[in-house]
Every structure is written in C-alpha cells, then in structure tokens.
Amino acid sequence: MDSTGIHAALRGRFDTAVGELAPGPFEPSIEVDASAIEAVCTFLRDEEGLEFDNLSNLSGADYPDLERIQAVYSLFSYKQRHSITLRVNADRAAPVIPTVEAVWPAANWLEREIFDLLGVEFSGHCDLRRILLPEDWVGYPLRKDYEEQPDYHGISTVRESLLTMKKD
Amino acid sequence: MQAFLDTFLGDAAGLERQLGYLAGMAVFGSVVVFGFVLPFAGIVTWAERRIWARIQSRVGPNRVGPFGFLQWLADGVKNILKEDLIPTVADRPLFRFAPYVVMVGFIAAFVCVPFSSDLIIADLNIGILYVTAVTSLVVVGILMAGWSSNNRWSLLGGIRAATQIISYEIPASLSIFPAVLLSGTLSMQGIIGAQGAAPWQWHMFHSPFTLLGFGLFFTAALAEGNRTPFDLAEAESELVAGFATEYSGMRSTLFFMAEWGNLYVIGALVTTLYMGGWQLPQFTYNPVLMNLAQAGVFMGKSFACVFFMIWLRATLPRVRVDQLMAMCWKYMVPLAMLSVFGTATLMVALPNGSHTLRMATFAVVVGVVIRFAFKVRFHLKRARELDYSSLSSGASQGLSS
Amino acid sequence: MSVELEVHNSQGLPTEEMTLNMGPQHPSTHGVLRFIVKADGEVMRRAIPDIGYLHRSIEKIAEKVGWHGFMPYTDRVDYVAAMACNQGWAMAAEQLADIEVPRRGEYCRVIAAELSRICSHLLGVGAMGMDMGAITPFTHAIRERDMIMDLIEELCGARLTFNYMRIGGVAWDLPHGFVEKVSHYLDHLEPVIEEFNQLLGFNRIYVKRLADVATVDADMAIAWGLVGPNLRGSGVDFDVRRDLPYSVYEDFDFDVPLGSGEMGSIGDSWDRYIVRMREMVESIRILRQALAGIPEGPVIARVARNFKPPVGDVHVKIEAPRGEQSWYVSSDGSEYPHRVHIRTGSFTAMGIIDRLSHGLMIADLVAVIASMDIVAPEVDR
C-alpha cells in the first residue's frame, strides 16, 4: 500500500488526531498528535492490510527555534513490505510523549535513548532511565542549547588550550 | 627401588637398613620432583604453545633461546618477580595455603609412577589406589582457593571445578578396574608386569571391554585435570579465571604448574594401566642400560599422551557444566560399569584370555588409526602452500622483512 | 551494589539470589559491555545489560564537523565492518542533495562493502568459536581477515577504519591488478570457509552448546526489532540488499540464507551462526560478479566542497554485516547536519538479551551475545 492509502486509512479511523500527509522533499510523513500516538500505532500494527509489525527507527530531533522536540517514527511491515514515517511533536519546555512500548517491544530501548539524550519523557514506559550516559549525568546532550557541566565527579570536562598549557 | 638400593646397603640390618631405604627414596624423590616434574611442568607450556602455534598457522615463541625453548624460564622468573597481591577481604591463611595443597596433591602422585622396572620411588602394593586417593587432595585446594578469594566468580569457579573433579572420580576409578582385574594386583609394577612389550599384549587391546575402559579412563582423567573440553572451571567465559582469579604472581603459577604437571600424571597413569608401561623386550643384561631404555619407552608413551591432550585442547570447544555432569553420570558411569563387568565375565568365561579377541581388537584399532592417517594425508595434500606475497601486494612487502 | 533477594526455589525452600557482575573489562572481543546477572546458582533469572561504556557521542559530533568531515567518524560507528557505515552516511547525504553516484563508483562501493562484510563475519564467527572454547578456528579466521585487510589497505590505505567512501562516490579508484588479486584471494578463501565449518560448525560439542539456546521465533524477532543475520536466523526472509535494493545490488544474483532449525529449532543460536557462514559464501558470489562486471568511468560525482543540502530529512536503510542500519539524517540547509541518528543492529540485539536470558545458564549468556554478533561500538556509538 502506498502512503496515500495508509494516510486515508488513518484519517478514516482517527480523523483530526492525524495530520495531513506531508509529501516532503524526500519521503512522505504523517504528523500525529502526541496523545493519539499509541492508539495510532496499535491500529497500524493490527489492521488488516497495514500490518506494521516493526518499528524500524525512532529518532528525536531538537528544533529550538520552533520550540519543539520532534520524535520521528519509521515503521516497516515485513508482511506487506511497505513503510511509513510518523512525526510527533512535543513542547520543548516539558516534552512528554506516550510510550509505544506495548505495541513494539523494540521501542523500549529506543525511547530510553531519546530520554537520555534529549530529555523527552515517555509516559507509561516501564523503565525510563538513562541508557548511554551514567545515571547521575546532568543535562541532555543532543539539545542544541546543551552546556556541558564543568566537571563530573571531580574530573574536569574542560580541555586546556594547547597554547596556554604549561610545558612540563 | 628397594632391590636397587640393596646393592648399596650390603648387609646392613634393621633400623639402619630402613633408614638407608628412606634416604635413597628421598634422594630419588627429590631428583624426580626437582629434576623432572617441575621442569616438565614448565617445559610443557613451551611445548603447548609451539604445538598450538603449528595448529593455528602461526609460529609460537621463538625469541627466547633456540626455538623459544627458554620462554618458560623467562615466564617463571617474571612470575616470581611479580607483586604478590592478596585482597584485603580475602581469608589470608587459606588464601596462602591453597596453592600448596594443590601442589602436594599433585606431586605426591609421583611416588608411585613407575619410570622403569627399578626406577620407582616406592612400589606400594596399593599403588594405583594410592595415586587415586592422593590426587583427590587437589579438590580441597581448589575449594580453598575459590572460597578464600571472597569473590563470587571465584567461588562459582571453585565449586564447579570441585564438582567436576569429584564427579569424574567415579568413572575414572571404575575404569581402573579392568586393568586391575586383569593384572590381579593394585601395584603399579604388577600391572605393568601383567602386560607385554608388543602392542597387542597391552591391557588396552585385551578385549573390547578394556578398550572401552581405556577410552573412559582417558576422558575421565582429562576431566579431572580440568583440561579442555572440560576446562569450564578456569577458562570459561565467566570471563575471568575461575577459582584462580584473585591470585597473582607465583601463587597462580603454582596452580597452573599443577595443572600442566597433571598432564604428565594422566599420561603416566594411562601408560601404566593400559599401554604396557615400560615393557620392552630384554635386549641386554646390563641393568643400567635396560632401565634407561625402559624409562625411555615409558617417557615416550606418556609424552605421546601429553601431546594428544595438547592437541585436543587446541581443537575442541568447551562443554557446558550441565552437559558435563550429564555426560558423567548418565553415560560414562554406566559404560564404565559395562567395561568392568564385561572384563570380569570374560575372565571367568575364558580364564586364559582369548588370543583371537585380543588380535581382533588390536586390528580394529590399527585400522581406525590407518584410516585417520589417510584422511589427514588427503587433507595435507590438498592444503596449498600459502604464498602471502602473491595475495597481498607491494603494500605489505615494504613492511614485512 | 548487590541486592540479595529472598526467593524460593522449585521445592519451596527459601534460597538467595546471587548478583554477579560481568564487568566492562573481560577477555572478549565484543568490547566493553557490562551485564548485571541475577542468578540462582548456575541458572540466570535476569541478565540486565548496562551499556554506554563506549559512548563517544558520534551523533553530536556530526552536528559539529559537517557533512564531509563526518565520514571518518562513521567508520567508528562499527569499526569491525566500517565500509557499510561509510556507505550509509554517503547514501543519506546523496539522497538529501539528489546526487547520483557514477556506476563505477557504485561498483567500487559494493566491492568494498562485501569485502568488509566477509571481514566482519569472519571475526564474528571466530569470536563465537573462541567464546565456546575453540581457540583454533579464531586464529584461522583472523589469518583470513588479515589477508582481506591487506587487500583493503591496498585499496584505501587503512586496515580498520577505512574512510574510503565520499559523498558522491568513493575516494580512489581500484589500483592496478586489484581485480586479479581479489579474484585470486577469493579462490583461496572458499575452501577455507568450508574447512572452518567442518572444524567448528558441525562439531558435536559446539552444536550442543548452541542448539536450542536462546531461540527467537520470527514474530518475536520482528517485534523486538532484530535485523540482519539475527532476523534471518529466525526464518524471516528479508535482506535489504535484495528487498529494498540500493546501490547496484539489483545487478547481482545472490541467495539469502535463512535459518531452518537444522540442529535444533529455528531461531536458535546455531541458526544465527550458520546464516553468517553461508552469507560469507554469498558475499563471495557477489564479489565475483562485481569484479567481472565493473564498468569504466569516474568513481565520484562532482560535489561542492561546502556541501549544503536542502532542508528536509530522510531515512536510509543499508544492510550492514550486523544487520540493517537505519540512518535518519535531517538537514536544515546549512553546512552542518541538523541531526544524525543511527539505529544499529547490535543496539536492538542488546535490547532483547534481558528477555532471552531468563532460564539460561551463565555459560549460555556468552553464547547468546556471541551468536547475536554484538559489538560495543555499534551499541553505544
């Protein structure tokens, strides 16, 4: 099924919770409301003809000038061999997106990574804690306004300039 | 040994004679332990590394001494000079004592190893029973090491090793019985005496049951010695070194020397029980020459067993612990019982042994060996000489020298 | 931190659960991975992975070094099979800027990628053997890998982190005599793979260690996001090179090996091993076809030095040796990418380990990690 058909099916079921099909410069994508994402994903997985059984990629991107953090879901169907991209926008001040862990277990770690690096809270996640960075790290590195903490457990994170380093 | 010592003691009697025997045995024991066993434990590491290297298409140690022969000495010196670390939370007395227990358990077995008809420290009339009993001391040492390290991985490794060794005592001891039954004695020299010099006169080929006993004894002894494919206690990817994790320097070397030296003990036991020991046709009446030749034969056979065990370690993967236990209790013990009862039944049915059965067993084994040799020869002929410089190019020619 | 939980064993007797730490340092080629194992004696209840020891913030670095400058960093995403990662990045940038790579460049890419695939699989199965205790097949695999690295060194000057591909093609053309050398080497390699399989793959002890261990059925593999040989070992017939073809893979004729439960059940560890062995043979087929059919022409398209693709984002999927890598690259029209995200095969494979480990023995945990061919750089980036 091509993206217009998938979009039509989604629109028919979820009406305005699902946005317009953005043809995009490179690949078509559909914007989905954060509150409806889990229902949408369950529908996409279970519906006859759609059968998106795999969450291929879940990325987060920070758009500070648009005041939002966007989560991009790339879904793939092994049965039907089609794919679709969903976008969910979250408010940058307090980003919260419902988890889709119940739909695809693969989302568990992917969401933890986005939480770790971008600070998006996935409500309903069973084990939302940092995955790549240490548990006591402060800040979300992939945000555009991230300032690194000056030291971590006493180890300085500032690299001395080679010009001003004393010669030993 | 005592007969040999008698020539020196003349007609001394009573306590003097006993002290003379004791002194002679102590001297010979020291020669054996310090002159043969401990250097052998070192040299076998060199041999192991060179043999593995050939199997793995690389070179092995070749810098320190001719063909890298002094590598083991260099490693020994390095280990002695290493810092002796004892974890603060470890149980210090047990921690220090464990390697010595393991060494004692292993060296004490050499009391009964018959190098030739006269060269044996003490020909106990319970020889093989003594050897089996005393090598069990190693288990105590391993458990001590695993427990006193105060480290969960060491404990796991120590318990696994102890379980393995204790379990495999059963098939090992059961597989000794066919040889003992056929020889009618537990004494090592007696067992060898019941065999002959020619291969088909060895206990191994007496009947299919004793052949089975030989195979089982070899496998069970491998498991007792913690060698691959049964080395899960030490090299398993518990990802640390099992019971010897916390040991450094010479203490850990003692553990591993016990393991490598144990290779020789296994080889010696297999040779004695099933492969005819030092038996050689009488070609001279000069006792010194005869003894030397017999010792040479014994060494040759036990080194062949050691080589086979080194070869096996390079080739096979490891067995998992539950598969190991299943193999012991569900397969090897019943087969060992079969071998014992079969030998006993044959002895009753055919009191003088059956020459045809013996020759038939020998012929079957020789046939298998020849077929194996042919298969290997086929592969060796197919193996091409690798011309590295033609596969890669000037890029690496400039770097290689 | 150890928490001893009072649990009850099958006879209803109270026992203690042991918490073991399979720490980040260990003698294994899989890299710095840490597992917190909660075990009841020998049998595990859970094996919780703790990752991040090799996190180098490669994705953040992309936002700082720009489009061209990121290419060497992509090698480090999976340094065991670096060509595939190069290709993923190059393809994403080319899609964004609508650049067409010349055919000879594409053929060079395929040759490099397939050589890298053989390298990676050799290391994967060799390490698997070594974790099982068979030390010899590992040395043979490394020997073969060394010869491939000699060939690649001739091609691009590096043996591990290649930096061979560029946005728009590849950096250098094939050297003189390269085609003959690679063909000669492939003639040598095929019987070696066969010998390797005889020595290791069908060895009874090895099969018993792997058969029926950590079986992943097809539905579970798809839901948990397993990809590549892990997915094909569970019987799912999908390969990005054949089903969503990219580069010039449509020109080549090759089979996709699947796990079939020969030695146990479909989707057990042995199936994942044999899929890798057979994939090496298929890679050799592709290589031969590519070497025979490589056209003449340039190897790289003209690309601006200050590369500024239009605004937008794209998902690119490639078949890396460890599974499908999904590259999400977002451009904001400037010289620096806005966001790069790489979803690697090893990352999702690590995610499933906790689920699989219940009821396995501690020795099996190593078998599972090795059969999933997890390498730390891919997990942590």
For C294-349, write each residue's pLDDT tens digit. 999 999 999 888 889 999 989 999 999 999 999 999 999 899 999 999 999 999 99
Helices (H), C178-267: 178-196, 204-210, 218-223, 229-233, 240-243
**Option in C42, C131, C191 nearest B321 (CB):** C42
pLDDT tier at C145, thresholds 50, 70, 90: very high
**Option in C243, C324, C351 nearest A81 (CB):** C243
The per-residue pLDDT for range C40-63, each reduced to its tens digit, is: 877 888 888 999 899 999 999 999
User: Does the distance separating the beta carbons of C313 and A110 come in below 8 Å?
Assistant: no
Tokens for C182, please give them: 């690679």
The verdict on A22 touching C (C-beta cutoff 8 Å) is no
On the question of pLDDT at C7 being above 60, the answer is no
Give the 3-state secondary structure of residue A63.
Answer: strand
The per-residue pLDDT for range A24-56, each reduced to its tens digit, is: 788 888 888 888 898 999 998 888 888 899 999
Please check whether residue C46 is in contact with residue C61, taking contact to mean a CB–CB distance below 8 angstroms. no
Query: Which of B350, C380, C47 lies closest to A116 in space, CA to CA?
Result: C380
pLDDT tier at B236, thresholds 50, 70, 90: low
The verdict on C181 touching B (C-beta cutoff 8 Å) is yes
pLDDT at residue B335, rounded to an integer: 94
Q: Do chains A and C touch (3 or more CB pairs under 8 A)?
A: yes
Q: Which residue of C has its CA nearest to A112?
A: C351
On the question of pLDDT at B399 being above 70, the answer is no
**Contacts of residue B392 in chain C, CB cutoff 8 Å?**
147, 150-151, 153-154, 181
**Contacts of residue C314 in chain A, CB cutoff 8 Å?**
26-27
The per-residue pLDDT for range A56-112, each reduced to its tens digit, is: 999 999 999 989 999 999 999 998 888 999 999 999 889 999 999 999 999 999 999
pLDDT at residue C288, rounded to an integer: 94
Distance CA A73, CA A81 (A): 16
C245-274: b or e for each residue (b if 16 or more CB lie within 10 Å)? Answer: ebbbbeebebebbbbebebbbbbbbbbbbb
Please check whether residue C268 is in contact with residue C212, taking contact to mean a CB–CB distance below 8 angstroms. yes
DSSP B233: T
Give the 3-state secondary structure of residue C8.
Answer: strand
On the question of pLDDT at B220 being above 90, the answer is yes
**Mean pLDDT lowest among A127-141, C1-15, C358-372:** C1-15
Question: Residue C99 phi/psi, 5° resolution?
Answer: -105, 135
Q: Which residues contact B261 (CB under 8 A, 6 or more apart)?
A: B37, B38, B40, B41, B44, B106, B107
Residue A31's DSSP bridge partners are: A87
Give the 3-state secondary structure of residue A151.
Answer: strand
User: Does the distance separating the beta carbons of C312 and A54 come in below 8 Å?
Assistant: no
The number of C-alpha atoms within 13 Å of C185 and in the hemisphere containing its C-beta is 28
User: Does the distance separating the beta carbons of C347 and A54 come in below 8 Å?
Assistant: no
Tokens for B322, please give them: 């539950």
Please check whether residue B125 is in contact with residue B186, taking contact to mean a CB–CB distance below 8 angstroms. yes
Q: Where on the phi/psi map is residue C267: left (φ > 0), alpha (ψ -120 to 50), or beta?
A: left
Question: Residue B72 phi/psi, 5° resolution?
Answer: -70, -35
Q: In Å, how far are B215, C46, C260, C364 from B322, measured between CA atoms?
A: 21, 19, 26, 11
The per-residue pLDDT for range B96-111, each reduced to its tens digit, is: 999 999 999 989 999 8
pLDDT at residue B394, rounded to an integer: 40
Distance CA B179, CA B182 (A): 5
The per-residue pLDDT for range C186-236, each reduced to its tens digit, is: 998 988 898 888 888 888 889 998 988 889 989 999 999 999 999 999 999
A24: closest CA of chain C, how far (Å):
7
pLDDT at residue B352, rounded to an integer: 78
The number of C-alpha atoms within 13 Å of A30 and in the hemisphere containing its C-beta is 30
On the question of pLDDT at B7 being above 80, the answer is no
pLDDT tier at B401, thresholds 50, 70, 90: very low
Distance CA B207, CA B371 (A): 21
Residue to mutate among C197, C205, C209, with most B CBs inside 10 A, is C205
Please check whether residue A69 is in contact with residue A60, taking contact to mean a CB–CB distance below 8 angstroms. yes
DSSP codes joined into one string, C232-243: HHTT----HHHH
What percent of chain C has pLDDT above 70? 96
Please check whether residue C380 is in contact with residue C53, taking contact to mean a CB–CB distance below 8 angstroms. yes
The per-residue pLDDT for range B118-127, each reduced to its tens digit, is: 888 888 889 8
Mean pLDDT of C266-292: 92
Please, what are the domains in chain C? 58-345 (1.10.645.10)
**Contacts of residue B384 in chain C, CB cutoff 8 Å?**
188
Give the 3-state secondary structure of residue B350.
Answer: coil
Kind and range of the H or E run holding B81: helix B71-81
Tokens for A77, please give them: 């169907």
pLDDT at residue B400, rounded to an integer: 34
**Option in A72, A109, A117 nearest C347 (CB):** A109
User: Does the distance separating the beta carbons of B395 and C181 come in below 8 Å?
Assistant: no
The per-residue pLDDT for range B338-376, each reduced to its tens digit, is: 999 999 998 898 887 778 888 888 999 999 999 988 888
Which of 68-87 (C) contact A at CB < 8 A?
A: none
Query: Which of B208, B219, B206 lies closest to B170 in space, CA to CA?
Result: B219
Q: Which residues contact C217 (CB under 8 A, 6 or more apart)?
A: C234, C235, C266, C267
Question: Residue B400 phi/psi, 5° resolution?
Answer: -80, 155
**Contacts of residue A132 in chain C, CB cutoff 8 Å?**
51-52, 55, 380-381
A11: closest CA of chain C, how far (Å):
23
Kind and range of the H or E run holding C118: helix C103-132
User: Does the distance separating the beta carbons of C205 and B152 come in below 8 Å?
Assistant: no
**Contacts of residue A143 in chain C, CB cutoff 8 Å?**
none
Residue to mutate among A46, A58, A59, A85, with most C CBs inside 10 A, is A59
On the question of pLDDT at C2 being above 60, the answer is no
Output the pTM of the full model.
0.89
User: Does the distance separating the beta carbons of C57 and A61 come in below 8 Å?
Assistant: no
Task: Report the sign of the C-alpha dihedral through residues C136, C138, C142, C145, in that order.
Answer: positive
User: Does the distance separating the beta carbons of A78 and C326 come in below 8 Å?
Assistant: no
Helices (H), B204-286: 208-224, 249-274
Distance CA C217, CA C212 (A): 11
Q: Which residue of A has its CA nearest to C62?
A: A142
pLDDT at residue C361, rounded to an integer: 86
pLDDT tier at A9, thresholds 50, 70, 90: confident
The verdict on C139 touching B (C-beta cutoff 8 Å) is yes
Tokens for C90, please give them: 């190059």
C148: closest CA of chain B, how far (Å):
8
Look over chain A and give the mean of its residue pLDDT values, rounded to a whole number: 87
On the question of pLDDT at B310 being above 80, the answer is yes
Question: Residue A167 phi/psi, 5° resolution?
Answer: -85, 130
- In the block, residue with structure tokens 């974890």: B87
Query: Which of B151, B41, B137, B156 lies closest to B85 in space, CA to CA?
Result: B151
The verdict on C183 touching B (C-beta cutoff 8 Å) is no
On the question of pLDDT at B383 being above 70, the answer is no
User: Does the distance separating the beta carbons of B319 and C205 come in below 8 Å?
Assistant: yes
Q: Which residues contact C293 (CB under 8 A, 6 or more apart)?
A: C107, C251
- CA dihedral of residues C102, C104, C105, C109 (deg, nearest 10): 140
**Contacts of residue C153 in chain B, CB cutoff 8 Å?**
392, 395-396
**Option in C23, C134, C143 nearest B57 (CB):** C143
Q: Which residue of A has its CA nearest to C344?
A: A57
pLDDT tier at B319, thresholds 50, 70, 90: confident
Query: Which of C364, C375, C48, C351 lies closest to C223 in space, CA to CA?
Result: C351
Distance CA B94, CA B80 (A): 20
Residue to mutate among B316, B321, B381, B382, with most C CBs inside 10 A, is B316
Please check whether residue B275 is in contact with residue B300, taking contact to mean a CB–CB distance below 8 angstroms. no
- ipTM of the shown complex: 0.90
pLDDT at residue C1, rounded to an integer: 35
A57: closest CA of chain C, how far (Å):
6
CA C74 to chain centre: 14
First and final C-alpha spacing in chain C: 27
Mean pLDDT of B323-350: 91
Distance CA B242, CA B156 (A): 7
pLDDT at residue C381, rounded to an integer: 87
Size of interface A-C (CB pairs under 8 A): 89
Mean pLDDT of B165-192: 91
**Contacts of residue B56 in chain C, CB cutoff 8 Å?**
135-136, 139-140
**Option in A56, A130, A141 nearest C60 (CB):** A141
Q: Are strands A29-32 and A18-22 parallel, antiparallel or unpaired?
A: antiparallel
Q: Which residue of C has its CA nearest to B54?
A: C136
Please check whether residue B224 is in contact with residue B143, taking contact to mean a CB–CB distance below 8 angstroms. no
pLDDT tier at C94, thresholds 50, 70, 90: very high
Residue C7's DSSP bridge partners are: C15
Chain B adjacent subunits, 3+ CB pairs under 8 A: C
Chain A adjacent subunits, 3+ CB pairs under 8 A: C
First and final C-alpha spacing in chain B: 56
User: Does the distance separating the beta carbons of B57 and C139 come in below 8 Å?
Assistant: yes
User: Does the distance separating the beta carbons of A131 and C52 come in below 8 Å?
Assistant: yes
Which of 195-254 (C) contact B at CB < 8 A?
A: 199-200, 203, 205-206, 208-209
Please check whether residue A30 is in contact with residue A14, taking contact to mean a CB–CB distance below 8 angstroms. no
Please check whether residue A137 is in contact with residue A130, taking contact to mean a CB–CB distance below 8 angstroms. yes
Which of 25-44 (C) contact B at CB < 8 A?
A: 26-28, 42
The verdict on B312 touching C (C-beta cutoff 8 Å) is no
Distance CA C250, CA C232 (A): 20
The per-residue pLDDT for range B47-81, each reduced to its tens digit, is: 999 999 988 888 889 888 888 899 999 998 999 99
Distance CA B375, CA B380 (A): 9
Q: Do chains C and B touch (3 or more CB pairs under 8 A)?
A: yes
Q: Are strands C18-22 and C34-40 parallel, antiparallel or unpaired?
A: antiparallel
Kind and range of the H or E run holding C342: strand C339-343
Q: Do chains B and A touch (3 or more CB pairs under 8 A)?
A: no
Mean pLDDT of C21-50: 82
Tokens for B66, please give them: 């001719």
Please check whether residue C266 is in contact with residue C258, taking contact to mean a CB–CB distance below 8 angstroms. no
pLDDT at residue B387, rounded to an integer: 56
Amino acid (1-letter code) at residue A158: V
What's the residue count for chain C?
A: 381
The verdict on C380 touching A (C-beta cutoff 8 Å) is yes
